[in-house]
Every structure is written in C-alpha cells, then in structure tokens.
Amino acid sequence: METQEQKTNLNIPIAIVLAGALIAGAIYLRDSKPPTPDGDTPNQRESDQVISIKPISGSEHYLGKPDAPVTIVEYSDFDCPFCKTFHSTMKKLVDAYAKKGDIAWVYRHFPLYKGEPPLHPFAGIKAEASECVAEIGGNDAFWKYADLLFQSPIDTDNLDADLSKLAVSTGINSNDFQNCLKSSKYADFVESQYNEAIKSGGRGTPFNILLFKKEISGDAKTKISETLSVYGNDIYLISEDGKSMSISGALPYEIFVKTINTVLGK
C-alpha cells in the first residue's frame, strides 16, 4: 500500500511472505497522516467501528451482479505499483467469484496527488481521463482503459497525447476524449472520491471496503480476524454491525479467497 506523503520516519512495510507468495507491499506513516485538500490532517471516523461510504449507484464502474452477497469497493490510484498488482488480484477474484454471482467489484478513485510534494502528481489527471472514457464509451470502455493505464508506460512529458492514444484504443473518438479531458469536468468528482476514501479510513492505496448483504456472524468475524491479523491489526477493520469491513494494502489473492469464503460460509 502506498501512502499520500513520503517521510523519512517510515514504518517498515507491513508484509509477510506466505509460502513464497507475493509480498503484500504496504507503507504506513507513523507520525503523520495524509493531508486533506485544505492541508489539514484528515478527520478520524466518528467511530472506530463505523465504516461509512457513499451508497453504490447505477453509474459506478461495476463488474459482477448488483445483488452479490459481497461487494468489494476498491479505492485505487493508477500510478500506484501496489494497485497495479492488486488490479490483477481483483481480476482473478472476479473470474473465480463474480461469474457465479458471489462478489461484485466497484472501482473508485484514490489518487495520491496531494501533499508537498505529491507522491503521484499525475494520478489525478489519469483518474479524470478514465472518467472521460467511461462517459463516452461506457462501462466496458472504462475497464479496458483501466487495464491499459496499469499496463502501459506513459510519457509524462507527452501526457495528454499518450492518454488520448490509449483512450482511442478502447474504441472512442479522439476529439471527444480530448475535449472532455481539457474541460476538467471530472476534477471535482475525482477529488470527492479521494476525500471519501480518507474519511472512511484510507491512509494509502489500494484501500478496499467490503460490503455484505447480510450481517456476518461472530464466528465469521473471528475467522476473518485470524486470517488478517498476521498482517497487523491496523490493516483491517470489521464494522460493529457486521455488514462491512475495510482492508488496506495489496494483500495476496489467497487471503481474499479465505476472507470471501468465510463471509459466504464456504
């Protein structure tokens, strides 16, 4: 997981190697928190056991069925290397679970483009570009573009042209895309999702909120805690009502499988 600021006083990345599997990269700030847009430190959640995000709407970037028992809302950054790794993890989870109706995946933006200096200064414009692609080409075009942004090297000295080239490869019109991007019409929208991620407890990327159709049992909470606590108690939070939880960092596919199976009672 990547955090909004880079400081010299950093904790060791929270990571564990499981049977030689992928390390779940995570960097946490020990003495500081990412700034909100006005430069202040973000407010804490009203309660440490309350997770509150904007309700999912029909205009979301969605894969899977809306009535799935588990919905994973991912707050991500197109310039985050851990997000790139986790994007592949989520695609595997969709293949394994979404086609059977067990999970859905919602993508929201958490570009680490604020702070002095910003960690990813071009992540915001890439997020805006993806929204322009979605507006013009629809949900399928958005997901194609998201894949391309994670896979393709982009020359920041030729940023607009490279973003446009990728957009055209999804099947949309170049002029329509360029007019949308130049208008900055999605700047406020991207910033609102950034603020939402921080308010809900996000301190770095990727940051995930899992929403459950039904309250999970006390036994399920215990099993999930046993699975995730090896990475540190501060990387996850299960809500008091048992209907949601947050997970920080690019944890391995196998860990999400165990968590999802526990929720599904498998």
Per residue in 22-31, pLDDT tens? 333 333 322 2
265 residue type, one letter: G
The per-residue pLDDT for 84 is: 98
Per residue in 57-85, pLDDT tens? 999 999 999 999 999 999 999 999 999 99
The per-residue pLDDT for 43 is: 34
Report d(CA 6, CA 19) in Å as an integer. Answer: 30
pLDDT under 70: residue ranges of the chain: 4-49
The per-residue pLDDT for 181 is: 98
Report d(CA 83, CA 248) in Å as an integer. Answer: 11
CA distances (Å), origin 27, targets 2, 141, 202 = 6, 32, 12
Query: Please, what are the domains in the chain?
Result: 61-264 (3.40.30.10)
- Please classify residue 48 by burial: count the beta carbons closer than 10 Å to its beta carbon, then call 0-12 exposed, 13-18 middle and 19+ buried: exposed
Does the predicted TM-score (pTM) go above 0.75? yes
The per-residue pLDDT for 218 is: 96
The per-residue pLDDT for 126 is: 98
- φ, ψ dihedrals at 259, nearest 5°: -65, -50
Dig out the tokens for 191 from the structure: 């910033």
Report d(CA 129, CA 131) in Å as an integer. Answer: 5
The per-residue pLDDT for 239 is: 95
